Structure 1
């Protein structure tokens, strides 16, 4: 076990170095764009523990493999010379065995009535299906260069279909670059921001928690060498922005998941590296509540029994709540703070939310504040109509409604605009019932390619509008990169109202084949210093190769679409000969085209905003998410018929009316209305009738009632007393765990 011990020392040392260097850079205010991105992309708390365990195993296997390679004349895999007992020991000591233990679900009221925070036990026959910190699904086998874990494009000179893969930055320069921003006259920017909002509910691919190599301690930003976890993006000659081709754009590999790679078979999985989903799969508003019990407790207001979420104790938005500050993690937001005479030099911290990416830009911050307020509004109304309810019942009933809100807006208002009429009919016909045989997990291709279509619909300017929907003179529109991690702009520059009015009244960028990604994202992503900014297009392409996604043609075949064998066939598919020629000139073969770029190159389906390939992949994913979710809002066991009828009035416009000072909104929240034509007063937007949740029973909770009934039948007063005692102890135990988890998150 010498290799395992060495691996644990290497990983621990790399993690500690990363923590220390991040703190030093913050103190010196010398954070690079790559550092800034890492703050919201590195794993924390339970996900960090799971990632560390997987890193132990992968590094240990690499060390064993390196030693085997020194042996002459034979080719070994690391597992060839390890006994089953030794493999089991590696799994136990690394912590991976604990991460993959089977889950036993209790058959009680809480499990039946409410989701778990972790997503466990949604599927009672396969309790970990869709749970946090489990692998993404593979709809097609991974195509690693070594068939185990080596990314595509890792080995210099390696041929694919007879050609080397082009550099991702070169592809970005040649195909995706644009300074022309065509307007989408059908969809507004709320449509774009909702896509990111819901994406942050269902998938999070954390990058490794180390910024240096495990093997020799090299900082990934200081070298262009490809050594795990560093997979740097090489700068091509003649790059329009970066003159020095000896430097690279930093890129860190995604965290692996336990039970994958060379020891995958030990856990009944394929012997290929898989990536971890750091969120629950399900549309359950986890970006509001968190995906673990410890995070959920950190976000609750434990000072009373009203079932509320915690709010900011330092500032309000003209009397309305803002998310609390995150004081327990390394905090980059003060670096982007314009110091005011009314504030200390420490600046404004980041907000705390259920998802760690909440502070990436102002629109996301605004949506987090909006739905924090909506939960508390729902909880207050619930408590008003059901004063007998305890805080837990009030909280969970409001959370249950919040999950339904995300589902309804997404499937009724958002997805049809993305995939079009035909794909909706094919993949998402009317709901029938829950199907426990459906695998709801987010697929790797969806998270890494298909659902990133939205990146080419983002406007480079973030509009901030006053009460009359005119540019706010005091707080004018800003370039997108000035909104990254700028919580101070919410606190000091008018709150969330100007931002929300901005995304309601401004158009999305229209994706076209010759105008794909704006320079704010391609050349200024997370730019806060003079260091080389990131390129979102290059990051997306490199991430697909890191995950070993099959190419464009393989995915078209998966969706029963025709393959392109040459330029003329590709030109016919994308209806653009010039683009087809440029793609084949870069890639050599249509088989080599990265799936993200290939999907973006296709013309829109009718009434949609993606082509046939992405319509298939996105439609199939949302069908699995719906039909494989036991707590889907239309499942007859989740809400009463009266409640389901009331929920049909859910709308984003109504939520904005109820939780901001905005009184003029679009009747359809994702439709672009030029010059506000069609906007209506909030009095015209239907409300959800919450009287359907009136509980005429006097018990403090639904689950208390169910337990009491069983206790009466068995005449077990002692059992009821134990239940009450356990509930109180359990709540405070979780609160303590949450506090410790936050404190230890960066150790």
Structure 2
């Protein structure tokens, strides 16, 4: 935890004192030596007495608070009352997934160090203790001791510096997993055989689910104790081990994924630290965006660059010693372990979950499902009987309730009323100011002399809950304050830039739910079902087999919003649409919404609220992260509503085109659903929401929500990858580096046309399933690419026409078109490559970047191929060849590329013979005293067909090598005419089809015609056509723009000419 805060590097690290920020740095001790407030016997060995009546002089015995206030005190007749136990369960249906997650979190952020100040008689057991025990549990829950010892955590050294040290960091940094020292992490917790991995046990002798055992369990030391990162003295049980195991499995899974991506590029420490970083981020996401919103009833304020370096990291004393002990009230005596069919397999009592091997025996999937499907105890003053006689081993017993009360006195917490004032609340003047529950009032009155004597922890538990929260006002404010401090003082909170995550990775983390983490770290074929929202227990019903009913709803027009609990049906009743909403609850609010971007903000809502015996339905508008506001103008018409046998159903109509509302048309629309069973008061839905893309005008929504929709997207994506990453690159490669082939132009054109048509077809597939109300960068780029690809094809066709028809193709206008075609193609390829990456991300099946990395690897491979080819093309291809008479080297001429056997069979021709053959239609040229037939090459010449047509019957030697007329250095045509000329017959006897060739300038006479006169003469004798217009435009518009561009030809061109 050191160096998180750069102003105070030790702040928030291990062994730092608890903060006294709220309440107002006050303590409440008996004297200046920090002795605890007195009670009967004053925590010393005294004669056993009964729980005395309330006294203004002393506080009650902590065990008497446990007995009178916290004890369930079930009577014999209560066993037969269903409502007795029901009333003790969570009224918000919060699951036990929350109970033990909070318990496990305490290992990570709050562990006050015990001092050596031992109070052997701290918890005196009154003589009438057994009268407060629940019927039928006495033999198990009886303490059978006169006193229970306690160590103080307050260091009372008779100095002003007395304090309590927190043994763990105050940051949510997964230190419960990775420990609190690098030495222990490296020597004990990491796998010695694979330093990337956390040490796990893959061959547990307790394992009952062998498939699950392959994922690993907690390792055991030589004494049979679990090896964990947190302090071993803290309570370890099968349920807290469950969270430890899941996150350790996630670490090892991430490590394996990273290795598959980076191979040997990273060392073990890099792999380990990166995996650790992701586990910490996922833990933070689950806590702040799932666990806390569930128990608080609302999320914390939105994190918006909220890191504050001036905010002191640390754990508040009141939070540690009172508020965050709330979870002890939620623990049950018994836990149902479900069977393969979701039924009650067997029951474990609280002591059973303490037994080593329990988690392994039942397996992680079964435990996950069991915790998700059972309600916790209500967060209130009552403690489970087994918690008041907690037996971690047969030789010891602890009263957790008494310990909690003792700890408040140990820390000198102010009274309940003083804490209320310090948090900004009014003092309570009467017991009814704390709670309306008369039973709770009577218990408090029987224990404390007056309201001002009431201790803060007891008062916090006794408060009536804030609507839709598990807490009363005091604990709620403490929770919000402390968790906001934990988040906003952490420089490495995953949404802060210093954590090292980019926007895409943060989005991936935010999209990963606790359920996702469980599912991917347990066997895929497990029969144990973890519900969509594991934090809230919801009934499961078979609502997913609906067929066409008497009201005319098609079996395809149904959206099962939540595991069969909440269903939405619809049918078109022009000019309205009719909805039928069915939820498995007799008290709830539930509704639907239509969104532009898929989120709640800006959405139109229709919300139903049960008001037994009817259901109220109204349309609302979103006002951001607040409760929706009912519209002034109501446009919903309720057709029917019923609440029968715990099922609420309402049918209503809604205008397709309502004023100031999003119209419902024959296009994709994002349908949002949200619900909250157990209350009809509009409040945050926590995780009870879902959404789908749907076209209400289509039959059902299969094409947008089920396999066909995903298949359409998959086909679209694969096609685009093939087109832009295979077909188009191959086409470009051919036209760039394979010009020696006679078919290169047709191959390039055909591939371009195939790619263009494919873009049209498969682009249309993508657009057909895209949601126009939810535009994304991928959709926007796709539409732009879809449109511009046809512009690029048009430029390609125009370039092809220039090459075939325009003589000045390499100058002026056509040259400009060619360059635009090149640059435009490069830009289009770049944008499309990026857009495919976005598409893979948007498809949502690549949480570990596997496919994105494969795609980037493929692009890198293509770029390497092009780079190597470009280097070869420029270095090897442009070894310029000079005539042998000038170079003096017979190996550097056209002759060197002609096989001797072929050369010996050549005909001997003179200029008259050449002229006759040209006049007869042959396409012959002369170079270095050799005659070549260029007939096949004219149409595919990279420099243009007209260029070659003009040089037929001429000597192109100087122009082929781009030689200027410099006196004797220039070969005279007359010299060639006086010599014997060797030539190929017009029929190709020998061909090379390896490299490129290009021919340029002409010379029919030994003396040059002045350029301006030549252009004037040529233009005056040319008939009017589009090509001639282009030539004239180039000649008249572009300065120094002759019809022909001259350049030296490459080795490839020389070899190609030699093959003719």
Out of 477, 484, 503, the position equivalent to 1:641 is 503
- Is it true that 1:564 corresponds to 2:428 in the alignment? yes
1:469 and 1:131 mapped to 2: Cα distance?
44
- Is it true that 1:152 corresponds to 2:25 in the alignment? no
Shift of 1:696: 12
- Is it true that 1:279 corresponds to 2:155 in the alignment? no
- Indicate how the Cα distance of structure 1 residues 583 and 173 shifts in structure 2: closer, same or farther if over 3 A, else same: same
- Indicate how the Cα distance of structure 1 residues 237 and 627 shifts in structure 2: closer, same or farther if over 3 A, else same: same
- Is it true that 1:482 corresponds to 2:352 in the alignment? yes
Q: Secondary structure in 2 aligned to 1:656? A: helix
1:254 and 1:535 mapped to 2: Cα distance?
17
Q: Secondary structure in 1 aligned to 2:362? A: coil
2:240 and 2:536 mapped to 1: Cα distance?
19
Whether the 8 Å contact between 1:306 and 1:383 is mirrored in structure 2 is: no
- Indicate how the Cα distance of structure 1 residues 122 and 478 shifts in structure 2: closer, same or farther if over 3 A, else same: same
- Indicate how the Cα distance of structure 1 residues 245 and 518 shifts in structure 2: closer, same or farther if over 3 A, else same: closer
- Indicate how the Cα distance of structure 1 residues 228 and 506 shifts in structure 2: closer, same or farther if over 3 A, else same: closer
- Indicate how the Cα distance of structure 1 residues 608 and 365 shifts in structure 2: closer, same or farther if over 3 A, else same: same
Whether the 8 Å contact between 2:336 and 2:348 is mirrored in structure 1 is: yes
1:245 and 1:306 mapped to 2: Cα distance?
49
- Indicate how the Cα distance of structure 1 residues 274 and 392 shifts in structure 2: closer, same or farther if over 3 A, else same: same
Out of 491, 494, 516, the position equivalent to 1:654 is 516
1:694 and 1:154 mapped to 2: Cα distance?
67
Tell me which structure has the larger Cα radius of gyration. Answer: 2
Question: Match for residue 13 of structure 1?
Answer: none
1:419 and 1:617 mapped to 2: Cα distance?
11
Q: Deviations over 1:174-233 (max 9, x none)?
A: 11111453332521110112111222211112334x6xxxxxxxxxxxxxxxx7454520
Q: Secondary structure in 1 aligned to 2:376? A: strand
1:460 and 1:244 mapped to 2: Cα distance?
16
Shift of 1:300: 4.2
Within 5 A, what are the aligned runs for 1:187-202?
187-202=94-109
Q: Secondary structure in 2 aligned to 1:365? A: helix
Q: Secondary structure in 1 aligned to 2:94? A: strand
- Indicate how the Cα distance of structure 1 residues 302 and 572 shifts in structure 2: closer, same or farther if over 3 A, else same: closer
Shift of 1:166: 0.4
- Indicate how the Cα distance of structure 1 residues 150 and 646 shifts in structure 2: closer, same or farther if over 3 A, else same: same
1:320 and 1:555 mapped to 2: Cα distance?
47
Question: Match for residue 367 of structure 1?
Answer: 243
- Indicate how the Cα distance of structure 1 residues 243 and 121 shifts in structure 2: closer, same or farther if over 3 A, else same: closer
- Indicate how the Cα distance of structure 1 residues 232 and 606 shifts in structure 2: closer, same or farther if over 3 A, else same: same
- Indicate how the Cα distance of structure 1 residues 382 and 396 shifts in structure 2: closer, same or farther if over 3 A, else same: same
Q: Secondary structure in 2 aligned to 1:490? A: helix
Question: Match for residue 236 of structure 1?
Answer: 126
Out of 335, 338, 343, the position equivalent to 1:462 is 335
Shift of 1:401: 1.0
Whether the 8 Å contact between 1:436 and 1:628 is mirrored in structure 2 is: yes
Question: Match for residue 181 of structure 1?
Answer: 85
- Is it true that 1:396 corresponds to 2:239 in the alignment? no
- Indicate how the Cα distance of structure 1 residues 582 and 488 shifts in structure 2: closer, same or farther if over 3 A, else same: closer
Within 5 A, what are the aligned runs for 1:590-629?
590-629=451-490
Shift of 1:527: 5.2
Shift of 1:561: 0.7
- Is it true that 1:450 corresponds to 2:354 in the alignment? no
Greater strand fraction, Structure 1 or Structure 2: 2
- Is it true that 1:535 corresponds to 2:395 in the alignment? no
Shift of 1:539: 0.9
- Is it true that 1:495 corresponds to 2:380 in the alignment? no
Whether the 8 Å contact between 1:404 and 1:633 is mirrored in structure 2 is: yes
Shift of 1:364: 0.9
Shift of 1:532: 6.5
Question: Match for residue 545 of structure 1?
Answer: 409
Q: Which moved more, 1:146-155 or 1:132-141?
A: 146-155
Q: Deviations over 1:124-161 (max 9, x none)?
A: 11011110111111133222222343223378579x99
2:518 and 2:145 mapped to 1: Cα distance?
49
Shift of 1:577: 4.8
Q: Secondary structure in 2 aligned to 1:665? A: coil
Out of 56, 62, 66, the position equivalent to 1:168 is 62
Q: With a CA cutoff of 8 Å and minimum separation of 6, indicate the structure with the bigger relative contact order.
A: 1
- Is it true that 1:587 corresponds to 2:448 in the alignment? yes
Shift of 1:262: 3.7
2:2 and 2:165 mapped to 1: Cα distance?
15
- Indicate how the Cα distance of structure 1 residues 601 and 204 shifts in structure 2: closer, same or farther if over 3 A, else same: same
Question: Match for residue 433 of structure 1?
Answer: 306
Question: Match for residue 848 of structure 2?
Answer: 690
Q: Secondary structure in 2 aligned to 1:478? A: strand
Shift of 1:521: 0.7
2:356 and 2:41 mapped to 1: Cα distance?
42
- Is it true that 1:414 corresponds to 2:291 in the alignment? yes
Alignment length, in residue pairs? 516
Within 5 A, what are the aligned runs for 1:125-140?
125-138=7-20, 139=22, 140=25
Shift of 1:651: 1.2
2:535 and 2:458 mapped to 1: Cα distance?
25
Question: Match for residue 325 of structure 1?
Answer: 220
1:303 and 1:570 mapped to 2: Cα distance?
59
1:395 and 1:669 mapped to 2: Cα distance?
29
1:128 and 1:370 mapped to 2: Cα distance?
30
2:848 and 2:153 mapped to 1: Cα distance?
43
- Indicate how the Cα distance of structure 1 residues 636 and 353 shifts in structure 2: closer, same or farther if over 3 A, else same: closer
- Indicate how the Cα distance of structure 1 residues 402 and 231 shifts in structure 2: closer, same or farther if over 3 A, else same: farther
Shift of 1:635: 0.6
- Is it true that 1:356 corresponds to 2:254 in the alignment? no
1:261 and 1:228 mapped to 2: Cα distance?
14
Out of 153, 157, 180, the position equivalent to 1:254 is 153
1:374 and 1:676 mapped to 2: Cα distance?
32
Q: Which moved more, 1:243-252 or 1:498-507?
A: 243-252
1:277 and 1:695 mapped to 2: Cα distance?
46
- Indicate how the Cα distance of structure 1 residues 629 and 457 shifts in structure 2: closer, same or farther if over 3 A, else same: same
Note the aligned Cα RMSD (angstroms).
Answer: 3.2
1:282 and 1:395 mapped to 2: Cα distance?
20
Shift of 1:391: 1.1
Within 5 A, what are the aligned runs for 1:83-98?
none
Whether the 8 Å contact between 1:306 and 1:390 is mirrored in structure 2 is: no
Shift of 1:392: 1.1
Whether the 8 Å contact between 2:307 and 2:490 is mirrored in structure 1 is: yes
1:578 and 1:549 mapped to 2: Cα distance?
26
- Indicate how the Cα distance of structure 1 residues 539 and 181 shifts in structure 2: closer, same or farther if over 3 A, else same: farther
Q: Secondary structure in 1 aligned to 2:344? A: coil
2:506 and 2:443 mapped to 1: Cα distance?
51
Shift of 1:689: 1.6
2:145 and 2:126 mapped to 1: Cα distance?
10
Whether the 8 Å contact between 2:198 and 2:248 is mirrored in structure 1 is: yes
Q: Secondary structure in 1 aligned to 2:249? A: helix
1:408 and 1:635 mapped to 2: Cα distance?
12
- Name the TM-score, length of structure 1 as normaliser: 0.64
Could you list the runs of 5+ residues in structure 2 that have no partner in the other structure?
A: 44-53, 75-83, 134-140, 543-561, 565-704, 707-842, 858-1060
